Amino acid sequence: MSPLSFLQSGGEMGSVVGAMDWSRTPLGPIESWPQSLRTSISLCLASNFPIALAWGSQRIQIYNDGYWPICGAKHPHSMGQDFKECWFSAWPVIGAAFEQATAGRAAFLENERMFLDRNGYLEETFFTFSFSPIRDDTGQVAGLFHPVTELTQASLATRRLKVLQDLADHTANARTVAEACGLIIDALDGQELDLPFVLLYLVDRAGGQARLVSATGLDPASTACPPLVDLVADTGHWPLAHAVRSGQPVEVVELERFGLESCRPYPEPPNTAFVLPLRAAGWDHPAGLLVAGVSARRPVDDPYRAFYALLRESVTTALSNARAYEEESARAEALAEIDRTKTMFFSNVSHEFRTPLTLMLGPTEEALASPEQALTGENLAAVYRNELRLLKLVNTLLDFSRIEAGRAQATYEPTDLAELTGDFASAFRSAIDRAGLRFDVDCPPLSQPVYVDREMWEKIVLNLVSNALKFTFEGTIRVALLERDGRVELEVRDTGVGIPPAELPRLFERFHRVQNARARTHEGSGIGLALVNELVKLHGGTLLVSSAVDAGTTFTVAIPFGTTHLASDRIGATRTAASPATGATPYVEEALRWLPTEDSVSTSPAPPLPAAPASEKPARIVLADDNADMRDYVRRILGDRWTIDAFNDGLSALAAIRANPPAVVIADVMMPGLDGFELLRELRATPATKNIPVIVLSARAGEEARIDGLQAGADDYLVKPFSARELRARVDAQILRAEIRHVEEAHDRRLVSVFTHAPVAIAILRGPAHVFEFVNEPYLDLIGRRPVLGKTIRQALPEIGAQGIYELLDSVYTSGQPFIAESLRATLNRGAEGAPEERYFKLVYQPMLDGEGRTEGIAVVAVDVTELAGARRAAESASRAKDEFIAMLSHELRNPLAPILTALQLMRLRGIDAAERERTIIERQAKHLVGLVDDLLDVSRITRGKVELDKAPVELANVIAKAIETTSPLLEERQHTLDVHVARRGLSVDADADRLAQVVANLLTNAAKYTEPAGHVRVAAERDSEFVVLTVRDSGIGIEADMLPKVFDLFTQAEQTSDRSRGGLGLGLAIVRNLVALHGGIVSASSEGRGRGTTFTVRLPFAPMPDPDGGDEGVGLTVQPRTAEGCRVLIVDDNEDSAEMLADALSALGHDTRIALDGPGALSVVTSFQPDVALLDIGLPVMDGHELARRLKAEPDTRQIRLIAVTGYGQLRDRSASTEAGFDAHLVKPVDLDELAQLLTSLTNLDTKARQ
């Protein structure tokens, strides 16, 4: 046979191996190779899976066709090379596994990241591989078998997909482009393995510049990060301009020319980057550019390019979504601004209409109510003035509407503009003189007529002069006309309050008003200057404004001479204009009402009311309104009953109120100096004035406006126009409420006195913010004597913020329901220097309701019960210790009982009849001890509220039958006669059948124990209205009257004698009482005394059984399970007696058993024994049963073993812990062999079905 025959079917690598001169290698000539090497090479070369061998002490490498692509450029030199030398760059990862296999133990590594130098550079790769020792004929490790799978592309795809997913998640909620840019870089900041650096540029709308907005991976100050790139001049390192022009990604190489000397995460910097253009909808060029570096340890292959394409789409999507949201927000804000402007306009117009309407309707109603039914005197004058005001407002609105609709029809006539302007302006002289201002009118003759619409020019002049008077309080108003550069200029200059620079650009916007500007009145529609601007435009002119705050304002109207700038069809013949004085009357009359008069601050004395005592003074009312007619009107309708002090602005009214608090304040909302709501805030902020009733007069109608006014602190809100009768009624009501409030305050003072001297801590909290209104001395002691009055609870006691107390108070305030706590834990900073202290309080939060049943505050009553709480915790700790002791005791008692009972069952199983009587006694007493342990655990669970009922409708007859079955051995032993009178149907209850059977069994056991042998026990049940009544009566020893109240207490028994002990721990009846209570029932005991027997009565709520679904009653199906013959069972228990007895018993049942006394021993046994089932004790030394179960379930060779916990711990938490550890079942010691045999059968049946 040819020495190379083993290379047959070896593919290309077989030919390479056969052609090599192996005599130059440590392996020697191929003819000298041992058979083990030949066989290994043959297996390797014949496989399609990538496999390499490392043979001999020099680790000579031989591989097959599937492996050589992994070698890259190292092939074919890598064939026959020292394995470590070939893969030296990966040795930090694979070296330990290689050496482990060399020592004879196989090693497996899964999806390991490593760097291979296989193509002239360190390349990031991922592999799953193993090293398995190959032994020669002597049993020594001669070489290693090395199958390998390269997972590089799959691992990189997963990682890169996560990058894209994180990017999408991170930017999902970006609301602006700037925010999106920051979030994009934040998301990419930790992704240096694929993106060593990222630069994000935004391109301006013109496409001329790219601005760096964020970056990661590079120093922003480096030359590689130009902050601003001129795309037109194409400056900068990166080819950004090329990417913008082409709209396609640009690959950039040789990055060292950009000064890129170092970059994370590797010592060598990247050599390649991509410039990715980012598209935007509606843009004709990219809106942004992403410069992304390429890993220095990955080639730029197709998957890498696909990743950059997806990255580009993800970033584009994030920016597009943010831009869309930003643009939509801008559109929404623009619409909202229009809506706000419209709302402001209607609010202003409403005020402008409602005030004159009030002053017209009020006098008219009075005239109609008078015998003459006529308007005369001042009432007639007031009505006329306000009719003119309404006419002016309507004309202004119509003018503006016509201009906006393009329907304004001007008639341009040649006009002596100097004379006309002087006449219009002079109409204001009397008003300006009364204001104490200097008025200069300088309108010299012009060289030629000016073509204007006279009515429109009148409105221009009157609006500008009226505006100057409104905002000027001292100095001069000047009106001048002059010629300049072929046009005429009208200049209206004042020395008034001026206009802030930020308001100048919006001054001619419709409905815009300068907020908080000092003015003679707040009346006005906000369209006067906008109208002037539009009228000037109709004349082909311009309107300019210049102003300085507190220095004055100048408006300049410039109109060209001639007609070339005007519509030729609107140039008409001379016409007769309306009288300037007549046209100016509404403006002047309105201005005169802004000015102070002799009665603008006045008092209307009120004669004594006929029914009042002579010594009683009429109540005083302060009225604040900037409209003189309104002040006069209110004085006339209220002055006959009350003293009225009227003021034309809020500041004057506030000073008068503080000097002498009135009974009621009536205030208009819109006033100069201090408006109505600001006046309200000032009044409410001062203790001396905070309770004065305030009636707000407003032109804003509607429920929302009324609520705003009341929330601002007003006691009443009256909408204009209003009637005299309504205003009088409102004032009457507020004065009455003020008197009631005085009585309540007196009562509150008495209550505060009581609270102050109370021995417990009391505080009063007001409002939804819970502001401290009152605290007594004990409360101050409780919080460390801190000043809290006037502060919210969040400000006063910040340390309780995370303790749920704020939320409790909010809930009480919102719901109106009190909160009571017997022992509320709180940590307060009340120790030395504000150190935190843990305290417990008995606490009451009682809501305080106003007259309408709404919560207005909370009364807090607190008692420090820290010492009592400490005592309670100590008692609870003792109770927990008791429960733990009982659990431990039950475990320790069950452990020795387990081998005893198992031994007894084994004796019975083997048919051993010797000492049958003695064996029966031992078995009975052992089971009795088990019952006592079960009772102890039941009591422990019940007292801790750990018993959970599985309730369902059940017939009581079935429950009683189950209980009789349980207790029949004891009844038969005592030779009792048992009478049962229970109907099979109609006595159903909603109950846990097992627990209710336990109740009946305990009662029967009690009857059997306390009745002399051959006694009589009777069980009966009947329906009593909505209850089912169960009685258990015996003919036993009875119960003394003084014992009856204590018969259901824990550990209580009838008095025992040394010759007639009844046994037990005194727990049975205590368990009965608690279980009955859990079912919503009651249990009672009665006895006629010693020797007269006892009757126990249980009353349970009746619960009708649901209708059956159909079918014959009582039909069942019996399934014969497969027996578990030949089952291999491993028993692990540190109690050797228990383990041996259980093993013997299972062996007697036909099972193959093994014993281990601890966890490590069990792990050793399972390898050779390979059990089907393992019975594990939980309390094992070294390694407990839970840990052992987890280890068995973790190993592939042992995870199929069925695990049964066998332990002395049987509570619910113990069973849950077993399930979590992987156990299939949980048995409590001592184990019943019949139950165990059935369990083994069921588990092996499951395994058989799984295999089928």
Enumerate domains of the chain plus CATH numbers.
5-150 (3.30.450.20), 156-332 (3.30.450.40), 411-592 (3.30.565.10), 618-744 (3.40.50.2300), 758-864 (3.30.450.20), 947-1101 (3.30.565.10), 1128-1251 (3.40.50.2300)
Give the contacts of 394 (CB within 8 A, at least 6 positions apart): none
d(CA 52, CA 523): 96
Q: For residue 828, list its beta bridge partners.
A: 837
Question: Could you tell me the maximum CA-CA distance found in the chain, to the nearest angstrom?
Answer: 151
d(CA 1210, CA 890): 9
Q: Two tokens at 124?
A: 């990031």
DSSP label at residue 82: B
Phi, psi for 1181 (deg, rounded to 5):
-75, 165
Q: Are 840 and 866 in contact (CB under 8 A)?
A: yes
d(CA 1242, CA 18): 61
DSSP label at residue 686: S
Q: Counting Cβ atoms within 10 Å, is residue 872 exposed (0-12), middle (13-18) or buried (19+)?
A: middle
d(CA 158, CA 608): 94
Q: Counting Cβ atoms within 10 Å, is residue 595 exposed (0-12), middle (13-18) or buried (19+)?
A: middle
d(CA 1098, CA 1021): 9
Q: Two tokens at 219?
A: 């120093």
Which pTM was predicted? Answer: 0.43
156: left (phi over 0), alpha (psi -120 to 50) or beta: alpha
Three-class secondary structure of residue 145 per DSSP: strand
d(CA 671, CA 651): 10
Give the contacts of 137 (CB within 8 A, at least 6 positions apart): 34, 35, 36
Q: Are 399 and 462 in contact (CB under 8 A)?
A: no
Q: Which amino acid is at 1167?
A: T
Closest CA to 1243 of 1123, 1162, 1146, 1118: 1123
Q: What is the pLDDT of residues 1093-1121, one digit of tens each?
A: 999 999 999 998 876 554 433 333 233 33
Q: Two tokens at 556?
A: 């300049």
Q: Which amino acid is at 1133?
A: D
150-166 as b/e: b if 16+ CB within 10 A:
bbbeebbeeebeebbeb
Helices then strands, counting H and E runs in the chain, come out as 33, 41
Please report which helix (H) or strand (E) contains residue 364, including its range.
Answer: helix 302-369
Q: Write down the residue that tokens 């004790």 correspond to.
A: 1177
d(CA 890, CA 1137): 18
773: left (phi over 0), alpha (psi -120 to 50) or beta: alpha
CA dist 956 → 636, 952, 961 (Å): 88, 12, 9
Q: For residue 1023, list its beta bridge partners.
A: 1028
Residue 213: the pLDDT is 94
Closest CA to 277 of 366, 200, 163: 200
Please report which helix (H) or strand (E) contains residue 765, including its range.
Answer: strand 761-766
Under-50 pLDDT residues of the chain:
573-582, 599-615, 1056-1063, 1110-1124
Q: Write down the residue that tokens 């210790």 correspond to.
A: 881
Q: Two tokens at 42?
A: 């043959």
Q: Write down the residue that tokens 């209003």 correspond to.
A: 722
Q: Which amino acid is at 573?
A: A
Q: Which amino acid is at 1087?
A: S
* DSSP-assigned letters across all residues of 1193-1246: HHSTTTTTSEEEEEES--SHHHHHHHHHHT-SEEEESSPPHHHHHHHHHHHHHH
Q: How many CA atoms lie within 13 A of 45 on its CB side?
A: 24
Three-class secondary structure of residue 914 per DSSP: coil
Cis peptide preceding 580, ω within 30 of 0: no
CA dist 764 → 467, 760, 772, 821, 864 (Å): 53, 13, 6, 18, 18
| Angle, CA 735 vertex, CA 732 and CA 736 arms, to 5° | 85
- Spatial strand order of the sheet with 438-442 comes to 438-442, 476-484, 487-494, 552-560, 542-548
Kindly report the number of other CB atoms within 10 A of residue 314's CB atom.
20
Q: Are 1141 and 903 in contact (CB under 8 A)?
A: yes
Q: Two tokens at 854?
A: 């709404």
DSSP label at residue 564: T
d(CA 601, CA 108): 100
d(CA 253, CA 407): 68
List alpha helices for 427-555, DSSP H: 429-434, 454-470, 528-538
DSSP label at residue 1046: G
DSSP β-ladder status, 1152-1156 and 1173-1176: unpaired
d(CA 295, CA 271): 8
d(CA 1227, CA 1236): 8
Q: Are 495 and 457 in contact (CB under 8 A)?
A: no
Kindly report the number of other CB atoms within 10 A of residue 959's CB atom.
26
d(CA 884, CA 744): 60
121-131 as b/e: b if 16+ CB within 10 A:
ebbbbbbebbb
d(CA 672, CA 470): 11
Polymer length in residues for the chain: 1252
Q: Are 561 and 401 in contact (CB under 8 A)?
A: no
